C-alpha cells in the first residue's frame, strides 16, 4: 500500500536476519519502509481497506489453527467498549521457536502488526503475551516498545505480559483467562468460537507470526503477499526444524514448497523414517509425504497440517514408538489437570506406548491402547488431549511395521537410543498464575 522496494526473496519476516541479532527501529524502517496508521477519524475507511487486503491476501493463523485472519476479524460481535488486542507469543510447544526467534530478531514487525490489528478492531490497548520462561523474547519486545515510545511513535498503549510457560497456557481461552486475572487454564466453552473476554472487554488473540505478516500486508498489500505460496496457501511461513537435521532452527519458506525441499534447508537426513508435523499435538507422516506440498491442502491427504510450523525429523537412529511414548508422557505432564479424560487418559496412553516400545507385552497392550485412544478423543475442554490422540494414531500408522515387530516382542535398539526430541523437564510443581 505504501511505497516500498519490491522483495524477491522468501525471507520476508526474517529479511536481514543473522544469528543473535536484533533489528532496531531505524534498521526496521530501512528494511521494510515506514508504516503510517490512520488517525481515529480516518480509521473506519482504512479499516475497511485493510480488512479487504487481509481477505484477499489469504493470510491464515500461523499459531496452529490456520483460520483465515480476515474472516476471524470480521466475525467480531459489535461491542460498545473498545477491545483488547492480544498478540500470542507464548509458544508453549518445545519444538517450536519461530515466534521467539521472530520476537528476538524483528520485534518491531510484531509491534507494527499489533498496531495494524489494534486499529482494525478498534482496540483500546495492546497486550503482548510472552511465556515467563522466555526472558530473551520478552526483553527484546520490551526494548522495542521503549524505543518506539522514545521516538514518539505509535498511538496504542502496549504492555508486555508474562504468563506461566506451560503448554496449554497459550491456548486462547487460557490466555484470556490469565489476562483477566485468573489462572492460565483453558475454560470450557459450550459453543466455539465463543467471544473471549477479559477486564470487561472483548479480547482478540492473534499469533505473533500472523501479526508480523499483517505488518507487511499493511505496507505492501495482498497481491505482494501472494507472490509466494500457492493459490490455496499464499505467502511464506516460519518453520522450526529439529531432530535428524544438520542445522536445526527457524526457516522461512514459501507455503506449498515440497516437503523434501523444506527439509533440505535444515540438512535433514534424506531418508527419514517419519516426520512429525505441526507440533507435539500434530501428526507423523512417512517418507511417502516427502513430495507433498508443505501446505494445509498438500498435507491433508497425509492427515497432517503445518500447524504451528513444527517439523521434527526422525531417522533409523531412534524408534518412532518410543519417541511417541516420550511425547505422550510429556504432554500428559502438561495437562491442565481439569478434565478427567485428559488427567487419567493421557498417562494411561503414555504407559500403553511405553510398554509397546519396550516390546515386553506380547500383544496384550494393543487393545488397551486402541480403547484409550477412542475413550479420550473429543472429551476435553480444549484440544490438548485430541492433539495427543492424533499424534499417537499417526505414529501407529507411520510406524506400523515397528508396531508389529514390537508386538511380537522383537528387540528394538532404537527404543533405547537417546531421544531426538526436545523434551524439557516438566514433571515438577506447576505454576498456573
Partner 1 sequence: MALRLRVDPVACDGYGHCAELAGEGISLDEWGYPIIAEGPIKDRHLALVDLAIRQCPRKALFSEEVTRVNAPGVARR
Contacts of 345 (CB under 8 A, 6+ apart): 372, 375, 376, 379, 385
CB of 65 to partner 1, least distance (A): 3
Contacts of 3 (CB under 8 A, 6+ apart): 33
Give the x/- contact pattern for partner 1 in 122-161, rule: CB under 8 A: ----------------------------------------
Please say which residue, 7 or 338, places its beta carbon nearer to partner 1.
338
Please say which residue, 193 or 270, places its beta carbon nearer to partner 1.
193
Q: According to the binding rule CB under 8 A, does residue 433 interact with partner 1?
A: no
Q: According to the binding rule CB under 8 A, does residue 308 interact with partner 1?
A: yes
Q: According to the binding rule CB under 8 A, does residue 163 interact with partner 1?
A: no
CB of 154 to partner 1, least distance (A): 25
CB of 389 to partner 1, least distance (A): 14
The interface region with partner 1, picked from 59-67, 357-365, 396-404, 410-418 by CB under 8 A, is: 59-67
Contact residue for partner 1 among 244, 289, 311, 383 (CB under 8 A): 383
State which of positions 171-210 bind partner 1 (CB under 8 A). Answer: 171-172, 186-188, 190-193, 205-207, 210
Contact residue for partner 1 among 7, 27, 49, 338 (CB under 8 A): 338
**Residues that bind partner 1 in the complex, under the rule CB under 8 A:** 61, 63-67, 72, 75, 88, 90-92, 170-172, 186-188, 190-193, 205-207, 210, 308, 338-342, 344-345, 375, 379-383
Amino acid at each position: 500500500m505504501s511505497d516500498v522496494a519490491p522483495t524477491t526473496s522468501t525471507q520476508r519476516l526474517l529479511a536481514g536476519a543473522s544469528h543473535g541479532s536484533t533489528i532496531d527501529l531505524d534498521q526496521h524502517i530501512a528494511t521494510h519502509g515506514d508504516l503510517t496508521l490512520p488517525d481515529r477519524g480516518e480509521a473506519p475507511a482504512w479499516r475497511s481497506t485493510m480488512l479487504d487486503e487481509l481477505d484477499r491476501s489469504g493470510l491464515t493463523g500461523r499459531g496452529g489453527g490456520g483460520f483465515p485472519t480476515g474472516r476471524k476479524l470480521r466475525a467480531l460481535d459489535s461491542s460498545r467498549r473498545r477491545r483488547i488486542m492480544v498478540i500470542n507469543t507464548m509458544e508453549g510447544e518445545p519444538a517450536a521457536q519461530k515466534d521467539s526467534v521472530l520476537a528476538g530478531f524483528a520485534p518491531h514487525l510484531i509491534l507494527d502488526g499489533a498496531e495494524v490489528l489494534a486499529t482494525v478492531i478498534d482496540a483500546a490497548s495492546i497486550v503482548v503475551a510472552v511465556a515467563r520462561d522466555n526472558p530473551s523474547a520478552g526483553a527484546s519486545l520490551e526494548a522495542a516498545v521503549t524505543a518506539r515510545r522514545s521516538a514518539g511513535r505509535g498511538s496504542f498503549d502496549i504492555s508486555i505480559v508474562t504468563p506461566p510457560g506451560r503448554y496449554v497456557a497459550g491456548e486462547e481461552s487460557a490466555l484470556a483467562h490469565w489476562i483477566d486475572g485468573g489462572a492460565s487454564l483453558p475454560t470450557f466453552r459450550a459453543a466455539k468460537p465463543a467471544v473471549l473476554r477479559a477486564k470487561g472487554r472483548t479480547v482478540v488473540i492473534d499469533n505473533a507470526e500472523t501479526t508480523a505478516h499483517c505488518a507487511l500486508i499493511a505496507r505492501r498489500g495482498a497481491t505482494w503477499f501472494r507472490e509466494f505460496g500457492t493459490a490455496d496457501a499464499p505467502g511464506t511461513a516460519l518453520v522450526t526444524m529439529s531432530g535428524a537435521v544438520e542445522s536445526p532452527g527457524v526457516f522461512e519458506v514459501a507455503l506449498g514448497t515440497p516437503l523434501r525441499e523444506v527439509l533440505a534447508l535444515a540438512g535433514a537426513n534424506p531418508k527419514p523414517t517419519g516426520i512429525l508435523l505441526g507440533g507435539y499435538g500434530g501428526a507423523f507422516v512417512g517418507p511417502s509425504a516427502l513430495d507433498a506440498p508443505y501446505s494445509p491442502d498438500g498435507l491433508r491427504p497425509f492427515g497432517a497440517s503445518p500447524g504451528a510450523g513444527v517439523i521434527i525429523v526422525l531417522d533409523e537412529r531412534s524408534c518412532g514408538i518410543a519417541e511417541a511414548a516420550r511425547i505422550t508422557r510429556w504432554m500428559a505432564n502438561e495437562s491442565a489437570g481439569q478434565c478427567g479424560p485428559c488427567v487419567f487418559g493421557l498417562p494411561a496412553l503414555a504407559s500403553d506406548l511405553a510398554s509397546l516400545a519396550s516390546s515386553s507385552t506380547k500383544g496384550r497392550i494393543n487393545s488397551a491402547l486402541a480403547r484409550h485412544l477412542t475413550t479420550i478423543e473429543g472429551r476435553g475442554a480444549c484440544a490438548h488431549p485430541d492433539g495427543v490422540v492424533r499424534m499417537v494414531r499417526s505414529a501407529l500408522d507411520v510406524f506400523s511395521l515397528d508396531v508389529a515387530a514390537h508386538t511380537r516382542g522383537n528387540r528394538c535398539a532404537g527404543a533405547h537410543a537417546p531421544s531426538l526430541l526436545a523434551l524439557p523437564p516438566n514433571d515438577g510443581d506447576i505454576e498456573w498464575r
